[in-house]
Amino acid sequence: MAEFIIDGGVCLRGEVMSSGNKNAALPLLACCLLTDQPMTLHNVPSIRDVHTMIELLKSLGASVEWEEPNTVHVHAASLHSCALDPILCKDIRASILLAGPLLAREGMVTLPPPGGDVIGRRRIDTHFLALKALGAEVDINGRFDLHARHLVGADIMLDEASVTGTENAIMAAVLSKGETVIRNAASEPHVQDLCRCLNMMGAQIRHIGSNTLKIRGVSKLNGVEFTVGADNIEVTSFIVLSALRGDGVWIRNASPEHLGMTRLILSRLGISFESRGPDVFVPGDQTLQVEMDLDGAIPKIDDNPWPAFPADAMSLAVVAATQVNGTVLIHEKMFESRLYFVDKLISMGARIVLCDPHRCIVQGPNRLHGELVQSPDIRAGVALVIAALCANGQSHISNVQQIDRGYERFDDKLRALGAKIERR
């Protein structure tokens, strides 16, 4: 397994360019199957999950080429298979995003169980309930076989505001007959990116950014060029790191319009940043102090569907709280295993009480020390890297290929800011 060797305590400064949003790039690649015309996607992050998705597209018969370091050309003129490779699907949860496009275009798909981060049970029921509402039949026998002679628009109430469930429903609905209404829809920036791209292709999606989408089905979609937006979770990662260890750091092309709740929540930890046009500036020498609730109670940081604080940023909030003066309750509502990485922070000197699978209490500031730890998933791995950069001494973080799944050239970007980090 690859590892990072990190010498902590170094002050970071300079600038870093944000990458394209992983969670936008994956559904955008999937939506390329909805047309037989060429598609070009710009600002696509060159990360493991994207490369796996591209291999899945190729296995179905699509032609996919990297034209530039972050530009991908996809042409699904014809498909020779609707059965997804089970080995590739084990590596990526987003494989399930191919269900909607294949069902809409070919009327069938065979989907092995999707993989991805081990952060607790991740329901996929919402996907199939939405697709069944549009007319699909689903057979389950160690895999998912979906068939639909015709997809017909429907009024769909999602049982949870699932991002990928919403995206699958959207991609199936745009080629369905009649009108579809998707209620309790997810509205994250990457869902909005998908909707805008589909509309450029000729789809008719209204109320983008709301939790009720109205879609008028069309018979055909065209190929277009589209630019993937900034990765708000990567940007948040660099904001947290820069506030803890920085002396003035710029994050370029950061899409600060999507950071409203991030600004509000991080301010409770004394972390501030400035929006300057398309960029974000994180000043150094910040006063890192927990802001108590008005009645003097210990404040709580929790996650909820967009536009609330994202679940993917909760690991970052935990590590930030270890360096802030005061006590805070972290409540991760969605995944019952995401907080289990805190034992690694505790081994580095953090004062954290894990109350139950969803809650922990963090008391800071903590003087962390270097340690040998393993990255359990993408977000926890990045939190451990931040902890190691704050720690005294040297840390070894193994299994960093997990980080590579979601962060583009993360160690290169850190070195550009002055971090002492080596990949081995």
117 among known catalytic residues: yes
Distance of alpha carbon 262 from alpha carbon 273, whole angstroms? 10
Query: Quick one: CA torsion of 43, 283, 267, 339, rounded to 10 degrees?
Result: 60
Copy the structure tokens of residue 148.
Answer: 């639909």
The single residue of 7, 36, 91, 117 carrying the catalytic annotation is 117
Distance of alpha carbon 343 from alpha carbon 360, whole angstroms? 11
Listed in order, strand segments (DSSP E) in 217-325 are 225-227, 246-252, 274-276, 279-282, 300-302
Lookup result for tokens 């309750």:
329
Buried b (16+ CB within 10 A) or exposed e, 134-156: bbbebeeeeebebbbeebebbeb
**Burial level of 252, CB count in 10 A (0-12/13-18/19+)?**
middle
Query: Quick one: CA torsion of 260, 317, 284, 3, rounded to 10 degrees?
Result: -120
**Burial level of 286, CB count in 10 A (0-12/13-18/19+)?**
middle
Residue pair 175/217 in contact (Cβ under 8 Å)? The answer is yes
Q: Whose CA is closest to 186, among 198, 176, 197, 194? A: 194
Copy the structure tokens of residue 53.
Answer: 């998705």
Those residues with Cβ within 8 angstroms of residue 183's Cβ, 6 or more apart along the chain or in another chain? 155, 156, 157, 158, 211, 212
Q: Is 361 helix (H, G, I), strand (E, B) or coil?
A: strand
Distance of alpha carbon 162 from alpha carbon 101, whole angstroms? 17
Residues acting as catalytic residues: 117
